[in-house]
């Protein structure tokens, strides 16, 4: 079995930055005797979060914050309302690990909605990133997931027709092809409305683009493909979608224990296996899976 790790796999710039800021917060807390809290999971990787919990970092919601503590804002960002609540606490040290790409979307939608644009968002309305984005919008907005393009087509049309100006963005971990499809559909509707303005921003993370491209290319060349990452991770989910469309023998795991006996048999029958990993998957977890596959081959 030849094992190949795709280019651009694993931790992205934003997550690496979040790790660095959290580690610094933990070290400072040790010196000051303060308690460190994550306001929601820093990233969507349960194994990594558990490691930090073992270091004494608790994951809490905003209702459980204690004064005179260190509060770490997750990489997906928080809502405008949550930020206002944090500002009312006394003696809190805030460590903001919000990804710069997410911060940019916050700034864009706040600016455009302030200019009178309604905002069209492609993404998962229940995801913390999208909740943070919508909280920055002062006017009307519409969130649509790629799985809803058909079922909510009528609502999309009504939303665009109801506003003279519409501004579109996508969740940072979205698939480019889905966003392009939505923009084409939206522009077609807008083109039929005299004087209508439709603007769109490129907001998909460049690391996401590179990761999906390299994983998709590798998936076409190997017998089996393994995607590593948290099962609640949006970017890992999109990565698996890309890979599984190119290779029917694709597996999504968080750890070696996630492989079933039948999965292992399929892997044994593959002369070549490709590996890719989501943006919240550290290098040691990639190496762990690589070593496991090597032992299976042995």
Active site residues: 129
CB atoms within 10 A of CB 198: 20
In degrees, to the nearest 5, what angle opens at C-alpha 88 toward C-alphas 82 and 91?
115
Q: Give the sheet arrangement for strand 2-5, strand by strand.
A: 2-5, 272-277, 224-228, 250-253
- The position carrying tokens 């006394």 is 90
Helix (H, G, I), strand (E, B) or coil at 274: strand
Q: Which residue has the tokens 């079995």?
A: 1
* HSE-up (13 A, CA, CB side) for residue 226: 30
Backbone angles phi, psi at 52, to 5 degrees: -75, -35
Nearest to 243 by CA among 213, 272, 267, 264: 213
Helix, strand, coil % over all residues of the chain, rounded to 5: 50, 20, 35
Collapse the DSSP code of 243 into the 3-class scheme (helix H, G, I; strand E, B; otherwise coil) and give the result: helix
* C-alpha–C-alpha distance, residues 173 and 78, integer Å: 17
CB atoms within 10 A of CB 286: 20
CA atoms within 13 A on the CB side of 179: 22
């Amino acid at each position: 079995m030849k094992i190949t790790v795709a280019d651009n796999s694993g931790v992205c710039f934003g997550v690496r930055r979040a790790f660095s800021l959290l580690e610094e917060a933990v070290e400072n807390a040790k010196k000051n005797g303060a308690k460190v809290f994550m306001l929601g999971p820093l990233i969507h990787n349960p194994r990594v979060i558990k490691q930090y919990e073992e270091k004494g970092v608790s994951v809490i919601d905003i209702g459980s914050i204690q004064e005179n503590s260190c509060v770490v804002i997750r990489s997906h960002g928080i809502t405008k309302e949550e930020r206002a609540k944090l500002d009312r606490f006394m003696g809190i040290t805030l460590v903001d690990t919000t990804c710069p790409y997410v911060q940019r979307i916050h700034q864009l939608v706040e600016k455009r909605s302030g200019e009178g644009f309604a905002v069209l968002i492609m993404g998962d309305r229940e995801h913390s990133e999208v909740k943070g984005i919508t909280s920055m919008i002062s006017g009307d907005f519409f969130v649509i997931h790629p799985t809803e393009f058909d079922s909510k087509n009528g609502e999309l049309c009504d939303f665009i027709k109801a506003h003279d100006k519409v501004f579109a963005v996508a969740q940072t971990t979205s698939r480019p092809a889905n966003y392009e499809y939505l923009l084409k559909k939206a522009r077609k509707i807008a083109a039929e409305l005299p004087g209508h303005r439709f603007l769109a921003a490129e907001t998909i993370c460049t690391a996401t683009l590179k990761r999906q491209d390299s994983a998709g290319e590798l998936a076409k060349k190997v017998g089996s493909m393994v995607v590593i990452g948290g099962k609640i991770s949006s970017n890992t989910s999109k990565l698996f979608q890309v890979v599984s469309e190119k290779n029917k023998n694709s597996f999504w795991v968080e750890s070696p224990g996630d492989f079933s006996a039948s999965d292992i048999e399929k892997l044994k029958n593959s002369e070549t296996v490709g590996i890719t990993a989501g943006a919240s998957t550290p290098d040691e977890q990639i190496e762990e899976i690589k070593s496991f596959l090597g032992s299976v081959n042995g």
